[in-house]
Chains A and B, each alone.
Chain A
Amino acid sequence: MSERENILARVKEALTVAAPLPGSHHGAHAEPASLPTQEDHRRVLPLVGESFEERVALFAKNSDELRSDFKLLIDQSELVAALNKLRAAEGWTRVASHKGSLTDAACQALGLPVLLTDAGFDKTELEKCPVGISECDALVAQTGSVLVTSRSAGGRALSVLPPHHVVLARRGQLVPGLPEAFALVKQKYGADYPSMISFITGPSRTGDIERILVLGAHGPKKLTILCF
């Protein structure tokens, strides 16, 4: 027999005896009828606000606490202006990005040499780029997270290897919370999932030395979210 069969046989054998019900030592005594629904999750998770304005305010508050730089902009021209300001402030001489409607326009406006990751790239070159500019699948108000996938954001490395990650998003991409974000992933990719789905929440961080927060442990030291 293979180890797969051995292990599964031991599991089956073990499960012939029923276990006490979940939370029975806290007084629960009924077998749950079904797995929790999205409404069940929503009922217990933190509040996310009712209107778009409240949710944007929550996303902004969370970004602030996480030390992400979140900017809500009027239109694409403001987005270009914000990018040019960053370029001047940080002295970018080139950028890394991927093909996409928002990123294409941004790279064109910046007018700098672009390392595109889409068709494969040299990882040492990407490591030298001062910034990675990517699109995203959603912004999550509940947690201040950016949802990216290997398909929507130029692969796996673009959003973590350069020291500054700039995310371009549209207002319509703001979702209230994690339940809605996972529903979106299922609806968008259900038939064929990307090999990586990632919730990025703030710049890379560590507290491993005396529980003191340091940004930029391994991933980006800065996370900028430009939303219009």
Chain B
Amino acid sequence: MSTAAVAFKKDAVRLSADLRHRALIQGALSKYELKRDEKQALFQDWQGARQLAAETKWEAVNHLDTYLDQFVRGLEARGTKVHWASTAQQARDIMVGICREKSARSIVKSKAMTAEEIHLNEALEHAGFDVVESDLGEFIVQLREEAPYHIVFPAMHLTRGEIKDVFERKLHDAPSDSPEELTMVARRVLRQKYVQADVGITGANFAVAETGMVSVTENEGNARLTAALPKTMITLLGIEKIVPRLEDLALFLPMLATVGAGQLISGYNTMYGGPRQPGEADGPEEFHVVLLDNNRTAILADAEQRDSLHCIRCGACLNVCPIYRNVGGHTYGTTYPGPIGSVITPNLRGLQEWKHLSYSSSLCGACTEACPVKIDLAHHLLQNRRNASRQKPSFLQRMAFKLFAPLATKPWLWSLLVTKGGRFGQIFHGLVKGTRLDPAYVWTKTRDLPPIARQSFKEWWKERK
């Protein structure tokens, strides 16, 4: 097993038996589920909306060169400086470079998963800049020196008590553990940062090709402030964020809010097309857009899984995934957890190192049904397994199938060893059940083994005739 797989297994075993963790996650997600279902029911045709969204992203991703070109020309026409980065390193260098050139002292950042992906904060801090996350959830996990737990709800795994503790330790300001008061502490601290910051960094949810705009979705107003006050604004986004036209957002914005957070639409949906224009009251003097590849073109080249680039990072597949709900967001050890992370991480960061994620799935298909842009997630997990074993066949797997093949092709042998043998063995199973002597120990150490049916299907079929 790879080191990532060993760590994954260790944490998964620990967390799936952690009752406190389970209660927190189930509590947070059950609130979300109620709201999501309520908002989804308002759509006249939710399934129709998913198909339109899938068709729109398909068009964008399958003509990505044309749309990227249009997007960039639109931005440049209004004075935006566009940068291209093939790798995470290049993106970091570009952004550190801009901050150096501006002699920035402090930087304020609004939530961006792409920035997590390239470990931007570490790079900026290493270069000597003071970077502060402005989204409340991100601000909390930054204070705790942790990665976000969820792509939409970064601090979902924390109780108000734990948040009060970290505020006390790091900010020396935590009047009580009420969410209201803790939020106001963060508001006070961050207000100063916005006004002082020299550079504001945001991510983007969509890139509108037709008009050359980035679209940023948020609830707190922190991205709005990040894009309003500092003299320099930088937006980092993956090249797959494209939608063809401005009006496509009429479909995507309410869909993202519905499955992402159970809202009709998010608090602020803002399109930025350039720096402050002549005659405008305020806004940054300079606007930089950094377009990141970082192996997205490798996924694009795999026609079978190209639709995983349709992803709008809503988190819907995480929320319905039985694996995510049991092992939690940090266990994955990846920027993007849950089903979409298990699909794309092996393709972004190495199939053999990360293939275990594609196996940690019950293949229930809940993710595929939840996805608002119809990514075929459950099948992609299977395809990753196939690709991994094709690339590097496993000896154990081959031996298992060598033994299974004669059993499965000789009914008399199956009946003798599996049906009759199983029933016979079960008489004595009680003696060793759940102990290390049990041949089914891997299963029985944490679960019950259901009894084998008294009558097999074959026997029933014979009798019926």
- Residues of A whose CB lies within 8 Å of any CB of B are 2-4, 6-8, 10-15, 17-23, 25-26, 28, 32, 35-36, 38, 40-41, 43-47, 62, 98, 117-121, 123-124, 127, 142-145, 150-151, 154-161, 177-179, 181-183, 185-186, 193-202, 204-212, 214, 216-220
Report B238-294 residues with CB < 8 Å from chain A CB: 239, 244-251, 253-254, 261, 264-277, 279-283, 287, 291, 293
| 3 tightest A-B CB contacts, nearest first | A219-B221, A155-B281, A156-B228
Is the CB of B69 closer than 8 A to any CB of chain A?
Answer: yes
B112 at interface by CB-CB < 8 Å: no
Task: Return A172 CB to nearest CB of chain B, in Å.
Answer: 21
Closest to B42 in A: A46
Assembled-state Cα–Cα distance A207/B179 (Å): 9
Complex CA distance for A199 and B246, rounded to whole angstroms: 13
Say if the beta carbon of B116 comes within 8 Å of chain A: no
Contact B44 A195 (CB under 8 A): no
Interface 1/0s, chain B 150-173, versus A by CB < 8 A? 000111101110010000000000
A220→B279 CA distance, assembly (Å): 25
Q: How far, in Å, is A101 (CB) from chain B's closest CB?
A: 17
Q: In the complex, A214 Cα to B137 Cα: how many Å? A: 13
Which of B182-190, B355-363, B389-397 is the contact stretch? B182-190
Please tell me if the beta carbons of B229 and A157 are within 8 angstroms of each other in the complex. yes
How far is it, in angstroms, between the C-alpha of A185 and the C-alpha of B62 when the chains are bound?
27
Residues of A contacting B268 with CB < 8 Å? 160, 198-201, 204, 219
Residues of chain A lying within 8 A (CB to CB) of residue B275: 195
- A-B contact sample (8 more), CB < 8 A, given A11-B68, A208-B153: A7-B84, A19-B306, A20-B303, A47-B42, A201-B266, A216-B184, A217-B221, A219-B268
Q: Are the C-beta atoms of B368 and A25 separated by less than 8 Å?
A: yes
Number of interface residues, chain B, beta carbon within 8 A = 114
Out of B65, B227, B271, B273, which one reaches A15, CB within 8 Å?
A: B65
The residue that A7 contacts in the complex, of B54, B86, B301, with Cβ under 8 A, is: B86
B221 in contact with A209 (CB, 8 Å): no
> Is B121 in contact with chain A by the CB < 8 A criterion?
no
| Total A-B pairs, Cβ < 8 A | 318
CA distance in complex: A55, B316 (Å):
30
The answer to whether A121 and B374 touch (CB under 8 A), given A3-B84, A178-B254, A211-B153, is no
- Using known A-B contacts A197-B271, A201-B268, A214-B183, determine if residue A182 contacts B250 with beta carbons closer than 8 Å: yes
Residues of chain B from 28 to 73 with CB closer than 8 A to chain A in the complex: 28, 31-32, 42-46, 48-52, 54-59, 61-65, 68-69, 72
**Docked pose: A23 CA to B274 CA in angstroms:** 35
A177 with B250: in contact, given A22-B374, A41-B52, A155-B282 (CB under 8 Å)?
Answer: yes
Alpha-carbon separation in the docked complex, A179 to B293 (Å): 31
Q: Which of B210-230 contact A (CB under 8 A)?
A: 211, 213, 219-222, 224-225, 227-229
